[in-house]
Amino acid sequence: MLTMAIRSGDTYKVESESILKRTKELLPIMGDADVEVLAVASGLRPSREGGARVEAETYDQKTIIHNYGAGGTGFQAGVGMAIDAVELAGDILETLRPCSVL
C-alpha cells in the first residue's frame, strides 16, 4: 500500500481523484496500487493583472528585483522566473566595485 501525506483544505475530492489517476498513468510503477490518501492540501498563488512581474526597479538609488504574480502557473514558471531574477541581479552586481572594510 502506498500512503500519501496530504493536508485537508479548500479542495474538491474530484480534483484529488483526477490528480491520483493522472499520476498513476504517468508512473506505471504505481500500477493498480492501493493508495491511501491521508489528507489533501491546497495553496494560494497570487496572480496580478498583466501577468507575472520579473523586473528590476530603481528606487531611492537602490535596485529592487521584483519576482511575483505568476498565479496558478507559479510551480511551472518558478524556476524560469528565478533564473531571470538572478540574471537581473547579476547584471547589477557586476557594475558594483568591491568594497572591503578589512
Q: Which pLDDT value is given to residue 3?
A: 46
Q: What is the pTM of this model?
A: 0.52
Residues of the chain with pLDDT under 70: 1-10, 43-44
Tell me the domain boundaries of the chain. 2-37, 53-94
Residues 6+ away with beta carbon under 8 Å from 97: none
Residue percentage of the chain with pLDDT more than 70: 88
Closest of 71, 10, 13 to residue 42, by C-alpha: 10
Q: Which pLDDT value is given to residue 89?
A: 92
Q: Which pLDDT value is given to residue 21?
A: 87
Residues 6+ away with beta carbon under 8 Å from 88: 54, 55, 56, 65
Q: What is the pLDDT of residues 23-52, one digit of tens each?
A: 888 888 887 778 787 877 776 677 888 889
